[in-house]
Amino acid sequence: MNTPSRLLLSRLSLTLSLLPPLLFCLSPIARAEEAKGKKKIVFIAGNPSHGKGEHEHRAGCMLLADHLNKSGLAVETVVVNNGWPKEAAVFDNAAAVIIYADGGTGHPAIPQLAKLQEMAKKGMGIGCIHYGVEVPQGEPGNTFLDAIGGYFEMNWSVNPHWQANFTLPKHEITQGIADFKINDEWYYHMRFRKDMEGITPILSDLPPAETLGRPDGSHSGNPAVRAAVLERKEKQHVMWAFARPAALGGGKGFGFTGGHFHKNWQDDNHRRVVLNAIVWIAGLPVPAEGVNSATPTDDEMKANLDAK
């Protein structure tokens, strides 16, 4: 073989030797292999809502997802914007689904109740944040009782702004979290499963009387909540963990009624208790020191805000 031929062959051999790693890095198979063994967590971010810095569903989901990705835990996250995913394949192999969106009659899960019921029966983790815990009574409410253990029921629950002071119970979700207080629109007097079956309160406090200063209404007050808070002085649970009974498919869920103000995600305890809950419902052990999550910078907090 002459010298030019040898040189050409040498160059060709070198090129071919570089191709497999390059192709491997770009191929879907490689990405699937990389994701193998990781828990997939799907965030459903609702449409833009409220004023600037409030109900920042997209920015909140992206912030939480980013901190999970950087936590060092075996997770991978997907954030879907503007409501329920149009492609069902988004949920393939998902370990948990988080819904952070406006609720009520416009809750993104209402047209998808059969799918949500199917997820719960398969043992998938389901978590709902802030307005995402509110659905109408009837089939939507009953679905939520079976999926996350409770929900905001109109003419029963209330939605005042107040500073809650939390003393934390012992639970995986509270690992690494200190007692804290913070002002938010903490919904309370949730409708829970009968006898609190499978439910562990995580964040609880007795709301001040002024939270019931508004006239009775679908979200503002009612005789039942006044009796519970003003007369019986019952602490109200604004975050809870739910271990589904085997008859409901097993798996886990949680409800978190805070999250109205985007700025509150910069509070380490407020943010990390939710990150812990997401990891818990995804079926991963929560680290003894809690999910590793550095305080977001001001620039991080400004990222991905809705144009309002």
User: Residue ranges per domain, the chain?
Assistant: 38-302
pLDDT, mean of residues 17-26: 34
- E strands present in the chain: 39-45, 75-80, 94-100, 125-129, 150-151, 162-166, 180-184, 191-192, 199-205, 236-243, 252-256
Domain 38-302 CATH assignment equals 3.40.50.880: yes
Q: What is the CA radius of gyration of the chain?
A: 23
Q: For position 23, what pLDDT does the model report?
A: 29
Whole-number mean pLDDT of the chain? 91
Q: Say how many residues make up the chain.
A: 308
pTM: 0.88
pLDDT, mean of residues 218-229: 98
Contact 88, 291 (CB under 8 A): no
Q: What is the pLDDT of residues 231-261, one digit of tens each?
A: 999 999 999 999 999 999 999 999 999 999 9
SS (HEC) of 188-241: ECCEECHHHCCEEEEEEECCCHHHHCCCCECCCECHHHHHHHHHCCCCEEEEEE
